[in-house]
Structure 1
Amino acid sequence: MTREMVIALMIALAVVLIALGVWAWLRRTRRDGGLVAPIAEAPADAVVVDRFEGFYVATTAHDAPLERLAIRGLGFRSRAAVTVMNAGVALDLTGQPRMFVPVADIVSVDRATVAIDRVVEPGGLVRLSWLIGDVTVDTFLRAQDAGSRALADAIAGILPRPLEPSTPTIPTGTDA
């Protein structure tokens, strides 16, 4: 095989791989076309609880951290400013309009280690589970200065508290 044939073969292989990647992304975009990012400003009376700088990692299907969703505005990793307010969470991603997730749409918040393109120390990512319509998605964030625990605690602080049990707790054992 000549040198020119090897170069031509490598170029052809690269073109095929790029074409497959584009085809896969277009299919994913069609699949996720019904999901729309919550482009909105926070309510005028919202009170800022805390603000964090860091990175937006990905938005994935709920409990599937390796399945990226192709939602316009949330498809790619970027720098982020996360503003936690009493009314919800605002995400300011580089080059995107502000996204606001109302507190009523937040399902849960916890910490994670793995997302689609990021593996960090245990608990180094914040996983914000929220609703787009009736679909639950997970958004992964990485706080830069304050740390993931502070961001997760700030978001958890705005969530409604679970209701108290309807039946009284009866002490047992030595506590009786």
Structure 2
Amino acid sequence: MTTLSSLSSLTHPVAGHLVGLAAEQKSQDVTDWAARVGWVVGLLLVIALVYWLMREGWKWRATIQGDLPELPQAPDPAELGPARLHLSGRYHGSTTAGQWLDRIVAQGLGTRSRAELTLTEQGLAVVRPGASDFFIPAASLRGARLDKGIAGKVLTEGGLLVITWQLGDRLIDSGFRSDHAAEHTAWVDALTELSGGPSEAAATSHDTEGAR
């Protein structure tokens, strides 16, 4: 009887200790999950805030660029004449000429997309699946150059075909990249010839040091 009493007295503290450890572990698990959920919720709120600020910035730019005329549309194919050059690639955006970070978003020019470019004696036709097509008449072309960045997008040196053109009172740089970058030089030559020579803005590449 004495032995049983001794064992019982020893067992109770051990059992109590184990129960305490289990309760402590459970409490710790609950605390960890609460911290994780709080961290995830905080991260989602930050992402939502950044997205909202970007959207408001986009809307603000569109508002202050509201005086930009509608984009010209290509004439009937029969009036365009034979194609001098054709390019398949991507449209990377447009900016005020000479200011590679001053992005233009009005009239759909802020939407990056695939693009099909066709150059004729009448001008440049830009077809963009899922975005607004537009046409740059030959009289509105101001030149072209090779560059590496536009509208915050940075590529390899010479990896971007930048076309300078006039829309209303605004001089615009539009950036394109061919699926075959070796074509860019021929495009610069043809556009420069068609425009009557590069303008000062078209001839100037820009320092993109520190860009992301």
Fold conserved between structures, TM > 0.5: yes
Correspondent of 2:185 among 139, 144, 149: 149
Question: Could you tell me which residue of structure 2 aligns to residue 69 of structure 1?
Answer: 104
Question: Could you tell me which residue of structure 2 aligns to residue 100 of structure 1?
Answer: 135
Aligned residues: 162
Give 1:37 shift.
4.4
Give distance in 2, aligned partners of 1:141 and 1:14. 30
Question: Could you tell me which residue of structure 1 aligns to residue 58 of structure 2?
Answer: 25
Q: Name the structure where helix makes up a greater proportion of residues.
A: 2
SS in 2 for 1:41: coil
Give distance in 2, aligned partners of 1:11 and 1:121. 33
Letter in 1 for 2:113: S
The RMSD of aligned alpha carbons is: 2.1
CA distances 1:99-120 after superposition (whole Å, capped 9, x unpaired): 1111111112111111124322
- On the 8 A contact 1:85/1:158 being kept in 2, the answer is no
Q: Where does 1:1-176 land on structure 2 (aligned, <5 Å)?
A: 2-42=35-75, 44-47=78-81, 48-145=83-180, 146-160=182-196
- On the 8 A contact 1:57/1:142 being kept in 2, the answer is yes
SS in 1 for 2:161: strand
Give 1:73 shift.
2.4
SS in 2 for 1:131: strand
Deviates more, 1:52-61 or 1:67-76: 67-76
CA gap 1:87/1:21 in 2 versus in 1, 3 angstroms:
same
The gaps in structure 1 that reach 5 residues or longer are 163-176
Give distance in 1, aligned partners of 2:169 and 2:195. 19
Percent of aligned pairs sharing the same letter: 25
- On the 8 A contact 2:87/2:117 being kept in 1, the answer is yes
Q: Name the structure where strand makes up a greater proportion of residues.
A: 1
Deviates more, 1:121-130 or 1:11-20: 11-20
Give distance in 1, aligned partners of 2:48 and 2:148. 34
- On the 8 A contact 1:56/1:142 being kept in 2, the answer is yes
Give 1:97 shift.
4.5
Give 1:58 shift.
0.8
Give 1:149 shift.
0.7
- On the 8 A contact 1:58/1:75 being kept in 2, the answer is yes
Which of structures 1 and 2 has the bigger CA Rg? 2
Letter in 2 for 1:45: E
SS in 2 for 1:4: helix
